Amino acid sequence: MPGKNLSRDEAQQRASILAVDGYRVRLDVTSAPNPAATTFRSTTTVAFRCSEPGADTFLDLLAPAVRSVTLNGRAVDPAAAYDGARVHVEGLAAENVLTVEADCAYSRTGEGLHRFVDPADGETYLYTHYEPADARRVFATFEQPDLKAPFTFTVTAPAAWDVWSNAPHEDVTAEDGARTWEFAPTKPISTYLTAVVAGPYHVARDHYSRELADGTTLEIPLSAMCRRSLAPHFDADEILGVTKLGLDFFHEEFDYPYPFGKYDQAFVPEYNIGAMENPGCVTFREEFVFRSKVTDAAYEGRANVILHEMAHMWFGDLVTMRWWDDLWLKESFADFMGSYGLIGARTRYSSAWVTFANQRKAWAYRQDQFPTTHPITADIRDLEDAKLNFDGITYAKGASVLKQLVAYAGSEAFFEGARRYFKRHAFGNTELTDLLDILEETSGRDLTSWAAAWLQTAGVNALTPQVTTDAEGRITELAVLQDTADDPATPSRGVLRPHRIAVGLYDRDADGALVRTGRIELDVTGARTVVTGAAGLPRPALVLLNDDDLTYCKIRFDGDSLETLRTGLGDIHDELARALAWSAVWNLTRDGLMPARDYVALVLRFAGQEGNIGVLQSLHQQAKTAVDLYADPAWRGEGGRLLADGALRELRDAVPGSDHQLAWARFLAQTAGGAEHLGLVRGLLAGSARIDGLDVDQELRWSLWLALAAAGQASDEELAAELAADNTAGGKRQYTHCLAARPTPEAKAAAWSAVVDSDELPNALVEANIAGFALPAHRDLTALYAAPYFKLLERIWAERTIEIAIRFVSGFFPSAQTGEPTLAEADAWLDGHPQAAPALRRLVLERRDDLARALRAQACDRV
Catalytic residue numbers? 309
Say how far apart CA 301 and CA 442 lie, in whole Å. Answer: 32
How distant, in Å, are the alpha carbons of 8, 750, 768, 772 from that of 742? 45, 11, 13, 8
Residues belonging to the chain: 863
With vertex at residue 743, the alpha carbon angle to CA 737 and CA 745, rounded to the nearest 5 degrees, is 105
Residue 646: how many CB atoms within 10 A of its CB? 22
Residue 390: how many CB atoms within 10 A of its CB? 15
In sequence order, the β-bridge partners of residue 89 are 57
Q: How far apart are the first and last CA of the chain?
A: 53
Residue 659 in 3-state DSSP? helix
Q: Count CA atoms closer than 13 A to 9's CA, side-chain side.
A: 2
Helix (H) or strand (E) holding 699, with range, is helix 698-710
Contact by Cβ (8 Å): 261, 167: yes
SS (H, E, C) 16-37: HHEEEEEEEEEEECCCCCCCCC
Contact by Cβ (8 Å): 146, 325: no
Residues 6+ apart with CB under 8 A from 94: 49, 50, 51, 53
Say how far apart CA 331 and CA 320 lie, in whole Å. Answer: 11
Using CB atoms within 10 Å of the CB of residue 177, give its burial: 0 to 12 exposed, 13 to 18 middle, 19+ buried.
Answer: exposed
Q: Give Rg (Cα) of the chain.
A: 28
Say how far apart CA 624 and CA 617 lie, in whole Å. Answer: 11
Contact by Cβ (8 Å): 519, 505: yes
Contact by Cβ (8 Å): 439, 451: no
Helix axis angle for 633-653 and 659-671, nearest 10°, is: 150
Residues 6+ apart with CB under 8 A from 655: 661, 693
Query: Cα torsion for 303, 306, 308, 310, to the nearest 10°?
Result: -140
Say how far apart CA 565 and CA 571 lie, in whole Å. Answer: 9
Contact by Cβ (8 Å): 323, 146: yes
DSSP structure string for 524-593: E-SSEEE-TT-TTSBPPSEEETTGGG-S--EE---HHHHHHHHHHGGGB-SHHHHHHHHHHHHHHHHTTS
Residue 231 in 3-state DSSP? helix
Contact by Cβ (8 Å): 554, 461: yes
Contact by Cβ (8 Å): 282, 275: yes
Contact by Cβ (8 Å): 711, 678: yes
